[in-house]
Amino acid sequence: DGGITQSPKYLFRKEGQNVTLSCEQNLNHDAMYWYRQDPGQGLRLIYYSQIVNDFQKGDIAEGYSVSREKKESFPLTVTSAQKNPTAFYLCASSNEGHSGANVLTFGAGSRLTVL
């Protein structure tokens, strides 16, 4: 079945460490997104990518980095510069990156806790 796989589901990190969250999709979607979810704040966009080797900052990109070397993969690195990284992270993809029949398909999420 087609879908989005995020790993790991749970991750613990010590302060000062970088950590990478994996996101893989087999839906052949062009666009991929990373969102951060905190209680009471909905979903906030970190980064998005509409094509391979190109990505754009979202509203809260500081302290995060991404790459898009393959269409299927869009890993997110949470760097030590992110001041409050404890959160639930959601990866998503859509069938078009531009105005059209866009529907977001989400992964199951990754819960990052900084100790």
Partner 1 sequence: AQTVTQSQPEMSVQEAETVTLSCTYDTSESDYYLFWYKQPPSRQMILVIRQEAYKQQNATENRFSVNFQKAAKSFSLKISDSQLGDAAMYFCASFTGNQFYFGTGTSLTVIP
| Element at 12 (helix H, strand E) | strand 10-13
**CB-CB contact of 49 with 74 (8 Å):** yes
User: 101: how many CB neighbours lie within 10 A of its CB?
Assistant: 7
Using the minimum distance from each CB to partner 1, give the nearer residue, 44 or 79: 44
Residue 6 in 3-state DSSP? strand
Minimum distance from residue 11 beta carbon to partner 1 (Å): 15
Minimum distance from residue 38 beta carbon to partner 1 (Å): 10
Cα gap 65→42, rounded to integer Å: 21
Minimum distance from residue 100 beta carbon to partner 1 (Å): 9
Using the minimum distance from each CB to partner 1, give the nearer residue, 49 or 82: 49
Q: Which residues bind partner 1 (CB under 8 A)?
A: 31, 33, 35, 40-45, 48, 50, 58-59, 88, 90, 92, 97-99, 102-106, 108-109
Using the minimum distance from each CB to partner 1, give the nearer residue, 81 or 108: 108
| Element at 66 (helix H, strand E) | strand 64-66
Minimum distance from residue 15 beta carbon to partner 1 (Å): 25
